[in-house]
């Protein structure tokens, strides 16, 4: 998922203003349109959801199959209008003051926790999502959403080191090269996400990503300030571009992002450091106030279909929790060590849970690091 600032953001912005100001007017024009141009015909096309055939999907950039939305329209008659966000924070900030009209959103695991806590999600009706049977059982009972009441997994992902093979002396199999060593001075780029950075430093220090204390933060902050002169940039999750363009030789990034550019450049590889790393999972949710909840259920069900899931996975190359879709993929995907790292490494990786107390501390400490 490429989290560069999407231009489409402006579209979503405009719509959100229109929605909040002109909800009444929009409602009237919808009613008019429905009675005017043959409501019956449309109702027939909907195939049971009983809602107008529209859906607003709020997704990451480069995070859907090339034909998925068109295929879904062919299957159900529902028009999907996709807008893009670049970070979970942007998603949260946009929905915080009320849903501007989105039906399906794709928050990561810790934001699912956060949005459930803030009462921003609608419980999913599993009887309308029969394709839940395709999901790998390992992804059903998860700590951040027990029993999958609010979210269904779309992808999972893992932070690690993307690097240029010809420019490193040895495989960078430890976080040390990024966090605690001048070896690759001026040739490394780190993530500008404060929470992820502190948790991964914690991993390097042999702690659990969920077991950090305020004292640990002080230690880590000092380490970050010491390492800062060796860092070329804190990137906005566009690390794969920096690596591909030769700007840096080592970059902290998600495995799927690096897998995407490895198809363009043979000299690039990805490694999960031996200390372990942080797992994320992006999930499909329905926000409170969604105008088309039934269409949303139908859409989520469609995305979890084996064939649709395969087409999505072929494009985005992220690890899929959809076992039926994975079974349809070629070995070049299933046996790819970048996409599916070895089991013993994965055992050392953890999901981060949302920590209300530490989050502001991460941010302030990171501001100090950047200002130092």
Partner 1 sequence: MQDWKRQKAAFASIAVSPVAWLIAFFVLPLAIVWLYSFGRNVGLTEIDISGTFSNYGRALEPLYLEIFGKSVAVAALTTLICLIVGFPIALAITFAQPKWRPWMLLAIMLPFWTNLLIRTYALITVLRTEGYVNKSLGWLWESASGLKVMVGMAPLSTWEPLPLLYNNFAVILGLVYVHLPFMVLPLYAALDRLDRSLIEASLDLGAGHFRTLTQIVAPLAAPGIISGVIITFVPALGAYLTPDLMGGPDSQMIANVIERQFKRANDWPFGAALSFLLMYATFILIALQALRNRKAEARS
Count of chain residues binding partner 1 (CB under 8 A): 36
Q: What is the CA angle 313-315-320, rounded to 5?
A: 20
Asked if residue 228 binds partner 1 (CB under 8 A), the reply is yes
Question: CA–CA separation, 250 vs 242, rounded Å?
Answer: 9
Tell me the CA distances in angstroms from 57 to 172, 180, 196, 197, one per residue in order: 38, 41, 26, 29
Q: Kind of pairing, strands 54-60 and 79-85?
A: parallel
Kindly identify the residues of this chain, within the stretch 177-206, that bind partner 1 according to CB under 8 A.
186, 193-195
Indicate whether 90 belongs to the interface with partner 1 (CB under 8 A): yes
Return the number of other C-beta atoms located less than 10 Å from residue 38's C-beta.
Answer: 10
Which of residues 66, 265, 307, 363 is near partner 1 by CB under 8 A?
363
Q: Please, which of residues 236-255 interact with partner 1 by CB under 8 A?
A: 236, 245-247
**Is 132 or 225 the residue whose CB approaches partner 1 more closely?**
225
* Closer residue to partner 1 (CB): 231 or 272: 231
Q: Shortest approach of partner 1 to residue 228 CB, angstroms?
A: 5
Closest distance to partner 1 from the beta carbon of 316 (Å): 23
Chain-centre distance for alpha carbon 173: 25
Residue from 5, 43, 122, 140 in contact with partner 1 (CB under 8 A)? 5
Q: Which residues of 14-36 are buried (b: 16+ CB within 10 A; e: fewer)?
A: ebbeebeeeeeeeeeeeeeeeee
Token look-up 């002109």 returns: 22
Please select the residue that binds partner 1; options are 89, 125, 265, 307, rule is CB under 8 A: 89
Cβ neighbours, 10 Å, residue 69: 20
Cα separation, 40 vs 45, whole angstroms = 9
| Structure tokens, 96 | 């915080």
Of the pair 13, 67, the CB lying nearest partner 1 is at: 13
> Is 11 a residue that touches partner 1 (CB under 8 A)?
no
Considering only 58, 234, 270, 302, the residue that binds partner 1 (CB under 8 A) is 234
| Secondary structure of 172-183 in HEC code, one letter for each residue | CCCCHHHHCCCC
Q: Which of 46, 132, 140, 233 binds partner 1 (CB under 8 A)?
A: 233
CB of 269 to partner 1, least distance (A): 19
232 binds partner 1 (CB under 8 A): yes
* Distances from the Cα of 12 to the Cα of 89, 102, 120, angstroms: 15, 10, 19
Among 3, 114, 164, 311, binds partner 1 (CB under 8 A): 114
Q: Which of 92, 122, 176, 355 binds partner 1 (CB under 8 A)?
A: 92
User: Binding residue for partner 1 (CB under 8 A) from 96, 171, 185, 226?
Assistant: 96
Q: What is the dihedral of CA 126, 131, 135, 141, to 10 degrees?
A: 10
Using rule CB under 8 A, residue 167 touches partner 1: no
Q: What is d(CA 141, CA 156) in angstroms, rounded to the nearest whole number?
A: 15
Query: Residue 337 is encoded by which pair of tokens?
Result: 């060590």
Report the residue number, 92 or 139, with the smaller CB distance to partner 1. 92
The answer to whether residue 171 forms part of the interface with partner 1 (CB under 8 A) is no
Judged by CB under 8 A, the stretch of 32-40, 226-234, 273-281, 335-343 that binds partner 1 is 226-234
Query: Looking at the DSSP assignment, which residues form a beta bridge with residue 57?
Result: 82, 104
Q: Which residue has the tokens 């995305």?
A: 303
Which residues contribute to the site for partner 1 (CB under 8 A)? 5, 7, 87, 89-90, 92-93, 96-97, 114, 117-118, 120, 186, 193-195, 228, 231-234, 236, 245-247, 356, 359-360, 363-364, 367-368, 370-372
């Amino acid at each position: 998922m490429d989290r560069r600032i999407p231009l489409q953001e402006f579209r979503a912005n405009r719509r959100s203003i229109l929605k909040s100001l002109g909800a009444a007017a929009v409602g009237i024009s919808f009613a008019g349109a429905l009675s005017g141009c043959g409501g019956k015909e449309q109702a027939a096309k909907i195939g049971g959801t009983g809602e107008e055939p529209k859906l607003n999907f709020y997704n990451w950039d480069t995070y859907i199959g090339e034909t998925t939305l068109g295929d879904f329209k062919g299957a159900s008659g529902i028009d999907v209008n996709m807008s893009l966000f670049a970070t979970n924070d942007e998603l949260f900030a946009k929905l915080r003051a009320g849903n501007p009209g989105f039906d399906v959103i794709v928050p990561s695991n810790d934001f699912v926790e956060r949005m459930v806590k803030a009462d921003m999600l609608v419980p999913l009706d599993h009887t309308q999502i029969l394709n839940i049977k395709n999901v790998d059982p390992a992804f059903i009972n998860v700590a951040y959403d027990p029993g999958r009441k609010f979210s269904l997994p779309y992808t999972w992902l893992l932070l690690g080191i993307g690097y240029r093979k010809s420019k490193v002396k040895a495989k960078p199999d430890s976080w040390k090269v990024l966090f605690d060593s001048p070896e690759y001075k001026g040739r490394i780029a780190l993530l500008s996400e404060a929470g992820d950075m502190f948790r991964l430093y914690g991993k390097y220090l042999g702690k659990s990503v969920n077991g950090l204390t305020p004292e640990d933060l002080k230690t880590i902050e000092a380490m970050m300030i010491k390492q800062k002169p060796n860092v070329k940039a804190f990137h906005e999750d566009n690390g794969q571009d920096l690596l591909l363009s030769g700007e840096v030789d080592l970059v902290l990034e998600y495995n799927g992002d690096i897998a995407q550019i490895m198809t363009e450049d043979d000299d690039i590889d990805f490694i999960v450091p031996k200390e372990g790393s942080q797992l994320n999972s992006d999930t499909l949710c329905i926000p409170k106030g969604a105008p088309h909840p039934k269409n949303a259920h139908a859409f989520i069900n469609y995305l979890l279909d084996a064939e649709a899931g395969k087409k999505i996975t072929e494009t985005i190359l992220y690890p899929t929790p959809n076992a039926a879709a994975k079974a349809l993929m070629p070995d070049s995907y299933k046996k790819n060590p970048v996409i599916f790292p070895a089991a013993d490494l994965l055992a050392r990786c953890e999901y981060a849970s949302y920590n209300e107390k530490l989050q502001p501390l991460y941010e302030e400490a990171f501001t100090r690091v950047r200002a130092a």
